[in-house]
Amino acid sequence: MDSFSNTSSMSSNCSNSNNNNNQLIKITIYGVIFIIVIIIIYYIFKILYNKNNKDTIIFYLAEQCSCCNKLKTFINNCKKQNKVNIIIVKEKEMTKKEKKRITIFPSAVRYSDNKLAEGEADVKKLVKQTLAKSNIEYFDINADVDSITDNSNNKINFYLDDKSQFINNIINLNNNQSLYNLQIINKNNINQTDTDFSGNKINTFPTAVRQSDKYTYEGYNDVLSLLEEIFNIQIFEETINFYVADWCDHCEKIEPYIKELKHKEQAKVKINIINFNNMTKKEKEDIHGYPAVMRIKDKKIGIGKLKIEEIVNEVLSTNVEGFTTNNFNDTIQFYVADWCYYSQIILPYIEEYKKQQNVVNVEIIYDKDVPSDLQLDGYPVAIRKSDNRKEYGNNDIFKLMNETLEKYNKKQEKQEIQEIQEIQEIQDENAIIVFLAEWCPHCQNFKPQLNEIIKTKTNVKIVDSKDITPDLQKYVEGYPCALKVSDKTSAVGASEILKMINSVNNKPDDKVNYIFVYSNNCKYSEMIIPKWYDFKMYVTDNNLNINLLEYESNDLDNLSNNYKSQLVGFPTLFVNENEKYEGYDDIIKYLNKLSL
């Protein structure tokens, strides 16, 4: 009986266990089905939600940024269209995390994919891409939303003269691609109501006045940039960027000439003026002095007035005057005639003479413009103003040109070198004067290295910007800058200055000896070796007048006794025989002081 009872009990327990297992399986299956249903519902909801949901763009703006202020109209028009969510974050409201990421104003971040756009052009591009991505029918955001029904608010007036009529052709070819109401007004048809938004009469040609953002575009560059924007076409062959800074005196002097170029230059080169405050991090790394220019096509950079003029003339294939100040000593007037065979032969030489020197002012006058009271016996003829000397025929004209140039070059060089030596109390004609400014970060980075050089180069002298006399000011083309007294040539930027310093008195006995002594068994020696090799590359790349020697602890036979007697441990760096740096910390500190 007990046996039967136990068997029955065991059978009952097995049955309960099977039931529990079946229930667990059912619960698991139902749970999986429930999760799958939830996932399906989630994705259906997400698809439906995204179909109707607007993306969000966060704009980062700074109060003092002119590009940010210009972009505000664009942002307001975005808000009016109600196609994307707009969030504006001011510079002072940014979090620490945002400040690390945002390095230029204006910038924008698209919330959906965290994409960052920097600068006015890229910000606008991001907005347009966002609208296209959302399958929104895009119309030009630069126009107010009301302009779809109100053509007066979507209107752009173009004021053209005879020289700018090619703009008329661009508009006629592309007008069907724009939603703007474009009006072309000839200079001769301007009336009293034709003014910009400040109420000023239109005096610059070409000029464009856009109603939607109440903005006036003056000169070829600005007007053609506007046409590129509204038609989405490429007009300019290439682009050059000018970099200026508010604290740079030379930038202030050169900026009017840049703006004049923007007004004059037609459809060849796009000219941008970029302030230090609006430069990208990459641009600040590439530009080491101000004013500066960069040719975008090949990333060629010029710092200082002469280098800027060189690149601008190369890009424009013409001689642009005004970037450098010419104090002419004399003037030669050349009288020529189109019909004269000998005039046509000498004309190219006169043009070359004009370009290659800045001592003699050259004036070319054609026969139809000769004053009636001036009696000439033939063509070509040259008259020197200082002594009214007159020469006929190509041979005698060439002699006059060469004699005049030689006369003033020798006189000017001798006088200027004497003036510079007297002002700076310099006896050595091979002296180099380095101009630094306290407000210039590149100067402050370069100064420690320069101080080290001065210890061995007695012909190098530092002059602070506030101590520059008017006589020296004309040689300063930017900061940092150096003047070689012997030929009055200038160098701008640390690397160019180093090359100049090492080109003067570059004798073997002038060389600085850097002797690095180390041990393969010393961990601090191993740690410093990569830095030592960086230093060697730096010396080679900059062609510095330095002897680099290194000795391992097991190979000190060739080390001079003067150095051996001072050696007490590893690693050690000797600079000539009068300086010694011991241990990892001191050597690294010294090399870092040289901005390596």
Reading the chain (596 residues) residue by residue, the pLDDT tens digits are: 454 444 444 445 555 556 667 777 878 888 888 888 888 887 676 555 554 456 788 999 887 676 777 788 788 777 776 778 888 888 888 888 888 888 778 889 988 888 888 878 788 888 877 776 654 433 344 433 333 334 445 688 888 888 777 888 888 877 766 667 788 888 888 876 677 666 677 877 888 888 766 678 888 888 888 888 777 788 888 888 999 888 777 787 787 778 777 766 555 788 888 888 888 878 888 887 788 899 888 888 888 777 787 888 777 755 454 454 445 678 899 999 988 888 888 888 888 887 766 678 888 888 888 887 788 888 999 999 888 899 998 888 988 888 887 776 655 555 554 544 444 455 566 788 898 888 788 888 888 888 888 877 777 888 888 777 766 777 787 788 888 887 778 888 888 888 888 777 554 445 678 899 998 888 888 888 888 888 887 777 776 777 888 888 888 887 888 888 888 888 999 887 778 888 888 888 887 776 54
Domain that residue 585 falls in: 511-593
Task: Supply the pLDDT for residue 358.
Answer: 67
Q: Are residues 156 and 213 in the same domain?
A: yes
Same domain, 345 and 369: yes
Q: Are 551 and 559 in contact (CB under 8 A)?
A: yes
Same domain, yes or no, for 498 and 517?
no
Give the CATH number, domain containing residue 544: 3.40.30.10
Q: Is residue 299 part of a domain?
A: yes
321: in domain: no
One domain, residues 496 and 517? no
Same domain? For 220 and 246 the reply is: no
Which pLDDT belongs to residue 85?
83
In this structure, the answer to whether residues 434 and 492 fall within a common structural domain is yes
| Exposed/middle/buried for residue 458 (C-beta within 10 Å: 0-12, 13-18, 19+) | exposed
**Statement to judge: residues 496 and 435 lie in one domain:** yes
Buried b (16+ CB within 10 A) or exposed e, 14-40: eeeeeeeeeeeeeeeeeeeeeeeeeee
Which of 209, 231, 253 marks a domain boundary? 231
In a domain, 22, yes or no: no
Residue 97: helix, strand or coil by DSSP? helix
Would you say 109 and 89 are in contact if contact means Cβ atoms under 8 Å apart?
A: no
Q: Which helix or strand (DSSP H or E) is residue 481 part of?
A: strand 481-484
Domain closes at, from 281, 316, 351: 316
> For residues 90 and 79, what is the distance between their CA atoms, to the nearest angstrom?
17
Question: What pLDDT is stored for residue 505 in this prediction?
Answer: 55
The model carries a pTM of: 0.40
376: in domain: yes
Residue 30 domain flag: no
CA distance 287 to 17: 80
Say what the pLDDT of residue 380 is.
92
Q: Indicate the pairing of strand 107-110 with strand 115-118.
A: antiparallel
- Please check whether residues 218 and 256 belong to one and the same domain: no
Running DSSP on this structure, what letter comes out for residue 479?
B
Are 217 and 250 in the same domain?
A: no
Identify the helix (H) or strand (E) that includes residue 31. Answer: helix 2-52
Q: Domain for residue 557, yes or no?
A: yes
- Indicate whether 159 and 223 sit together in one domain: yes
Do 589 and 525 share a structural domain? yes
Q: Residue 91 has which token pair? A: 């510079």
Last residue of a domain, one of 503, 522, 554: 503
Does one domain contain both 497 and 520? no
Number of domains in the chain: 6
Residue 335: the pLDDT is 92
Tell whether 33 is covered by a domain. no
pLDDT at residue number 596: 44
Identify whether 35 is part of a domain: no
Largest Cα–Cα separation, the chain: 156
